[in-house]
Amino acid sequence: MLTMNYTYRIDPDALQQTELRSWLETCRGVYNYALRELKDWIASRKCSVDRCSLEKEYIIPADEPFPSYHRQQNNLPKAKKQFPHLGQVHSQVLQTTIRRLHDTWEAFQKRGYGFPRFKKFGQFKSFVFPQFKGNPINGFTIKLPKIGEVPINLHRPIPNGFKVKQVRVLSRIRGTQWYVVVTIESDISVPDAPVHGRAIGIDLGLERFLTASDRSFQERPKFFKSMQRKLKLLQRRASRKQKGSQNWEKAQIEVARMHHRIANRRRDFHLKTAHQLCDRAQTIFAEDLNVKGLTRGMLRKDCVDAAFGQFLSLTEWVCWKRGVYFAQVNPNGTSQTCPNCLATVSKGLEVREHHCPECGYRTHRDHAAAEMVLHRGQENVVSQGLWGTETACQVGLSGVDDLDKWRGAGTPNRETGKPAL
């Protein structure tokens, strides 16, 4: 079973937008009410056995069962009689809202942190239609239950043999832009790409966004920093408006639109870079970075602006789609090890050149790290028995340097020459 998500822009009219916003707020209320029941039941089991609190106490019987997903879902018909506005929302949309809460609760129990939180106004930005009898997309419109037909920008058609499984409606830029994430599935199964063809290793950094083992590199565009001055001006204007007024809402929309533009530019750059890598190699190795740790260091703003985690996720998706093998290796010590003789060469972050005192190998620091990533990737696939005689990576074979130069001829940024020995 193959499942994929396609994202499309939709253009609902003013009446439909009002209906969608009302649905989001209703779902937010259902989510918060269900979470309140969950927290009250937990708090009633945490009081001391020998005394009661002097401030407040949760009066819940001891034999009251846990408010599970099925129990809260079965209470929805009763709640609709007490709160008639719940009936305006599709019944399955409310059920998936309860499912969303319990998925978060189960994830919290597994990892031990991240207890579900109450959603404030505007924080609930999506809801799901879990199933359809037929294909809701007809031409350039999509038919949503109880909403009607909404114009859709179908920039790419649904592939043959796939059927629509569910549709998630997303609100962006404070409810001024709307998208649908269409989940499609098919009975076909696509095997994982084997290790084959030419292999490269990539190293991610802040001086250069990406450096490959074939000496090509990609400069780092500073998406947030380049727009930070204009964003600061928009935020200053928004802070001077009276909170809750129409001018304040317009100013907040301008700020949200700027953030949305920055995110779109960054994602577009990541996708294009991933496709360029797939054009040059059939096997790609990258570092398994601790992305969360990078966002807590001294250079956290630059690391968040570069979004290494998003790039690695998108690269893995692009490689799978194009039949390129992608794997991540241990990043520890890649810049402190000589790729030529595997000797340890300690150097600080201020040293941007790798010079091995053992073998005399000299090259750029990031290029040496990329070569080390390639070396570790090759060791992993050989140890796993994935590397065959017909899938040799061409490293060490005759004509490799000429092949690298030929493949990198169209790369705008590329180091030339051979390293000095």
Q: Considering 135, 160, 186, which residue would you say is the last residue of a domain?
A: 186
- Of the pLDDT bands very low, low, confident and very high (cuts 50, 70, 90), residue 33 is very high
What's the structural domain count of the chain?
2
Are 219 and 106 found together in one domain? no
Mean pLDDT value across residues 334-347 = 86
Q: Considering 186, 208, 233, which residue would you say is the last residue of a domain?
A: 186
Are 25 and 103 found together in one domain? yes
Percent of the residues in the chain that have a pLDDT greater than 70, as a whole number? 89
Assess whether pLDDT exceeds 90 at residue 231. Answer: yes
- Of the pLDDT bands very low, low, confident and very high (cuts 50, 70, 90), residue 51 is low
In whole angstroms, give the CA distance from residue 180 to residue 6: 8
Are 268 and 341 found together in one domain? yes
Ranges 73-87, 157-171, 288-302, 376-390: which has the least confidence: 376-390
In a domain, 54, yes or no: no
366 CB-contact burial (10 Å; exposed 0-12 / middle 13-18 / buried 19+): buried
- Of the pLDDT bands very low, low, confident and very high (cuts 50, 70, 90), residue 402 is very low
Are 208 and 338 found together in one domain? yes
Would you state the structure tokens that stand for residue 269, as one six-digit string?
């750059």
- Of the pLDDT bands very low, low, confident and very high (cuts 50, 70, 90), residue 265 is very high
pLDDT of residue 392: 36
Assess whether pLDDT exceeds 70 at residue 416. Answer: no
In a domain, 118, yes or no: yes
In a domain, 242, yes or no: no
Assess whether pLDDT exceeds 60 at residue 400. Answer: no
pLDDT of residue 345: 84
Q: Each residue of 104-146: pLDDT tens digit?
A: 999 999 999 999 999 999 899 999 999 998 899 998 999 999 9
pLDDT of residue 239: 96
pLDDT of residue 413: 64
Are 137 and 203 found together in one domain? no
pLDDT of residue 275: 95
Q: Considering 157, 186, 215, which residue would you say is the last residue of a domain?
A: 186
Are 310 and 214 found together in one domain? yes
Are 88 and 132 found together in one domain? yes
Mean pLDDT value across residues 153-165 = 92
Assess whether pLDDT exceeds 60 at residue 418. Answer: no
Are 155 and 294 found together in one domain? no
Mean pLDDT value across residues 190-204 = 90
pLDDT of residue 299: 87
- Of the pLDDT bands very low, low, confident and very high (cuts 50, 70, 90), residue 191 is confident
Are 268 and 365 found together in one domain? yes
pLDDT of residue 52: 66
- Of the pLDDT bands very low, low, confident and very high (cuts 50, 70, 90), residue 10 is very high
In a domain, 149, yes or no: yes
In a domain, 347, yes or no: yes
Q: How confident is the prediction for the chain on average, in pLDDT?
A: 87
Are 299 and 383 found together in one domain? yes
Are 178 and 295 found together in one domain? no
pLDDT of residue 395: 38
- Of the pLDDT bands very low, low, confident and very high (cuts 50, 70, 90), residue 410 is very low
Q: How many CA atoms lie within 13 A of 314 on its CB side?
A: 17
pLDDT of residue 388: 53
Assess whether pLDDT exceeds 80 at residue 414. Answer: no
In a domain, 418, yes or no: no
pLDDT of residue 48: 64
Q: Each residue of 287-325: pLDDT tens digit?
A: 998 988 888 888 889 999 999 999 999 999 999 999 999
Are 32 and 164 found together in one domain? yes
Range(s) of the domain holding residue 125: 2-39+63-186
In a domain, 70, yes or no: yes
In a domain, 14, yes or no: yes
Q: What are phi and psi of 219, to 5 degrees?
A: -65, 155
Mean pLDDT value across residues 210-222 = 91
Mean pLDDT value across residues 261-283 = 95
Assess whether pLDDT exceeds 50 at residue 271. Answer: yes
Assess whether pLDDT exceeds 70 at residue 57. Answer: no
pLDDT of residue 350: 84
